[in-house]
A and B are shown apart, each in its own frame.
Chain A
Amino acid sequence: MIWIDNISKSYGERLALDSVSIQVDENEIFGLIGPDGAGKTSLFRILCSLIVPDSGKARIGNLDVVKDYRKIRKIIGYMPGRFSLYQDLTVEENLEFFATIFGTSIKENYDLIRDIYIHIEPFKNRKAGELSGGMKQKLALSCALIHRPEVLILDEPTTGVDAVSRKEFWEMLSRIREEGITIMVSTPYMDEAQLCDRVAFLQNGKLLTINTPEGIIQAYPKDILSIQSDNLYGVLMDVRNYPLVHSSLLFGHEVHYTEKGKSINQYQLKEYLKRKGHANVEMNLMKPGIEDSFLELMKE
């Protein structure tokens, strides 16, 4: 459905996107994961025909994002990272305005947005600027969907939204997908990657990997050890000075540890920690999570 072929874009000296190629299949939820400044927004703005790439091509369906920009704008729904609706118009007025400029009406596509809009309908006479973060986001999603787009492009929709609303939001996305809409969504939260069908991981404008979330986890190259201790911080500091260490990262109340080789010599590590005065240490081999995979990719 979406073909991104060798897209590069730079702002002055700074390279925002470096030969990025991605293919998104029809009717999938495709996640674009990456830290702030990775180039996610630039890529989306190119797809939405808001900026022109320096080189490379991108198509949505069979429409070129540069040449057929006028047609592109009819078939995409875009929700920018920053709340971009009219704060001084009411919920209903915003929705109506965007429906009418796409030549449709709320009534016509109500079934598509009903599940989302129903949450904010009680406040339909409230000005958009006076809504809470989660409600603003639902309104923005409703407005992006009101013309029944073929492709929905969401730029960091869950940034700054509470955990409950985030969960709700992802549930909404899977329901939208059932309507046959292809969704491309970006997020800085690595845990949200697991909610996508496939994800691309972007850093400093470079594409590090594209895979299913399971695929990414399976591709993790090493054994990984979870270390727990009363003096977790002390363990972390000492592990970092251990000659065989490859990575040691703090995850909540455990340290995830890998060695230079693929497998881990637990006995030797235990002895080393004992010598450093950490007697009470618990070690378990574990399955890597998606965050381990991303952090490993970033390290490379």
Chain B
Amino acid sequence: MRTIFYIIQKEFIQVIRNRVMLPMMIIMPIFQMLVLLYAATLEMKHIELFVVDNDHTEASRTLVSKFEGSSFYMLSGYSASIKEAEKQMKNDKTDIILNISKGFGESLSRGEGTDIQLLINAINGTKAGLINAYSLNVISQFVGEYAKNKGTIVEQSSSAGLDIRYRYWFNPELNFKHFMLPGLLVILVTVMGMALSAISFVKEKELGTIEQINVTPIRKYQFLAGKLLPFWIIALFELAFGLTIGRIFFDIPIRGSLFLLFGFSSVYLLTVMGIGLFFSTITRTQQQIMLLFFFFNIVFILMSGIFTPVESMPQWAQTANILNPLAYFMRVIRMIMLKGSGLQDILKELISLSVYAILILSLAVWRYRKTS
């Protein structure tokens, strides 16, 4: 026990002396939380709208002003020529073309059905989908109001006569930040936990200090525990730091129990650090292990469900996610923070990760050889 304590003490001294590590530990959470959360937003603003109006009636002007009145759109051009509009789209000067053909107003006032064309730049599919949804919303608002004012019955495309009201649970304002912040916390904690402990292990190999350690009576598990615990503490501290930033700057809800969140994180960290330590037993240089991390973390992160729901992934991907610790944590952290889930709800994930942690740590201890 005492031996482990001395190794931990040594690791902490080394972390504090490290000119890159310590500043990174403070800057990374701040940067990830503040900068990325503002930058990597899915909320659409400044959608560039090009209007092609061949109708020139009150109705068409009202529709256009509806778009202009919305905070999401910016009018980038106005013309009567669809050619002109398409040219703008090709030059990437506009995101959406609203094409109102002649006779639009007249058809509406007569209560007949009529067409509007929306041309959306779909280079970014997600963005196009969102623009489409926003635009349909504006149009249907317009149609509803128009019908009321004119007293005419307009055949609305699908929701004729139905007034659909939405209520979004667990994130009522559809605040993207509330959705993303837990995800970024997962990445932060993973990088800190997995990379730092493993790199500090491989560094000992690279610098040869492991030779001197290997001839001492230090036991394998003692050395690995000494490598793991300091960074485990640091990563949990980073989680607390990130949560504080989220609470202060974004008013992020923490509906579930903090105790449960940290408890789950502790188990999760043991798993990812176990993976990291296992990697470090099969590599010799920091460069090799960085490449391994790069490969696995990109796969782990993109498949974890940080951006896209895991449920909509193909079955093989969902099956592969059994081995992806990030997928468990991504789900659970959002459940605890946004939904307020309790121990009962996350028990399955907790047990799975505990088993994972035990397996991977045993593998790391087994694979680490003091004698070659």
Contacts of B140 in A (CB 8 A): none
A50 touches B372 (CB 8 A): yes
Contacts A84-B208, A97-B10 given; does A50 touch B2 at CB 8 Å: no
A69 to B218 Cα, complex, angstroms:
12
Q: Which residue of A lies closest to B222 (CB)?
A: A101
Q: Does residue A244 face the partner (Cβ distance < 8 Å to B)? A: no
Rounded to whole angstroms, the CA-CA distance of A27 and B209 in the bound complex is: 28
Residues from chain A with Cβ under 8 Å of B65 in the complex: none
B207 at the interface (CB under 8 A from A): yes
Interface positions, chain B 1-46, Cβ under 8 Å from A, are: 2-3, 6-7, 10, 13-14, 17-18
- Contact: A50 with B215, CB < 8 Å? yes
- Shortest CB distance B192–A (Å): 20
Interface string of A31-52 (1 = CB under 8 A from B): 0000000000000000011111
Q: Is the CB of B211 within 8 A of A82?
A: yes
A102 touches B17 (CB 8 A): no
List the one stretch of A85-93, A106-114, A245-253, A257-265 in contact with chain B.
A85-93
* B residues in contact with A51, CB < 8 Å: 371-372
Residue A173 is within 8 A (CB to CB) of chain B in the complex: no
A52-B371, A83-B208, A97-B6 given as contacts; is B214 within 8 A of A89 (CB)? no
Q: Does B211 lie within 8 Å of A102, measured CB to CB? A: no
In the complex, whether B212 has a CB less than 8 A from a CB of chain A is yes
- Could you tell me the distance between the alpha carbons of A73 and B370 in the complex, rounded to whole angstroms? 11
**Does the CB pair B17–A78 fall under 8 Å?**
no
Interchain CA distance A51-B2 in the complex, whole Å: 27
At the interface, is chain A mostly helix, strand, loop or mixed? Answer: loop
Whether B217 and A74, one on each chain, are in contact in the complex, defined by CB atoms closer than 8 angstroms, is yes
A88:B18 contact, CB within 8 angstroms: yes
Q: Report the Cα distance A52→B370, complex, angstroms.
A: 11
Candidates A49, A80, A82, A100; contact of B2 at CB < 8 Å: A100
- Bound-state CA distance A102–B208 (Å) is 19
B216 at the interface (CB under 8 A from A): yes
Which residue of A86, A100, A103 is within 8 Å of B209 (Cβ)? A86
A76 sits at the interface (CB 8 A): yes
Q: Are A82 and B208 in contact (CB under 8 A)?
A: yes
Q: Is A30 an interface residue (CB 8 A)?
A: no
Complex formed: what's the CA distance from A78 to B370 in Å? 14
Known: A69-B371, A101-B3. A84 touches B211 (CB 8 A): yes
Nearest Cβ on chain A to B15's Cβ, whole angstroms: 10
Tell me the smallest distance from the CB of B303 to a CB of chain A, in Å: 37
Task: Show the binding face of B for A, using Cβ within 8 Å.
Answer: 2-3, 6-7, 10, 13-14, 17-18, 207-212, 214-218, 370-372
Show 11 residue pairs from A and B whose CB-CB distance is below 8 angstroms, ordered by the A residue. A51-B372, A52-B372, A69-B371, A76-B215, A80-B208, A88-B13, A88-B18, A89-B13, A98-B212, A101-B3, A101-B216
